[in-house]
Amino acid sequence: MRTTLTRLSTLLLTPLLLTGCVNDSASYVIDTSDHAIIVMVTQDTFWSKQAGLRVIASRLPECQRQFDFGKVDMDDLNIELFSTGEESFLLRAGDEMWQIETQGCTQLPEPSADVQAQPIGIFHFDDKKHLVFERAEGAAGTQ
């Protein structure tokens, strides 16, 4: 009887443990739907203050590659996107920075302090907790 109650409790409480977890993505479309940067944020447990960050660089049919950038803080998560040259991009979340390019879909070395970067926009959670891309004022291009 006790085993049955334990199993029933576990079955009923498991969905509650998953409530509030994040598994979402948003895209910045560069010039066509085949050329984009996709940011994915995954929070494994609702109590975790960190989430996994993965980015896909896509320029089909030439290339598409996923990069795992590790964990980022969930508190006020903002992932800024900058252009650092033709088909070269910088992503920044807090103190962390990553540089990728979409010519061959590769990760570039961490940029130097004097890199010329033009803001494109920011990936963030809206008030409904959905990851969205918001273009910076005056940024050119497609969304």
- The ranges assigned to domains in the chain are 20-135
The pLDDT, as a whole number, for residue 16 is 44
User: Tens digits of per-residue pLDDT, 54-90?
Assistant: 999 999 999 999 999 999 888 778 999 999 988 999 9
Q: How many CB atoms lie within 10 A of CB 60?
A: 12
Give the model's pLDDT for residue 141: 52
pTM of the model: 0.79
In the structure, what pLDDT confidence band is assigned to residue 29 with cuts at 50, 70 and 90? very high
Ranges of beta strands (E only) in 15-125 are: 23-29, 35-42, 50-59, 63-73, 78-85, 88-93, 96-101, 106-108, 118-125
Q: Give the CB-side neighbour count of residue 139, counting CA atoms within 13 A.
A: 21
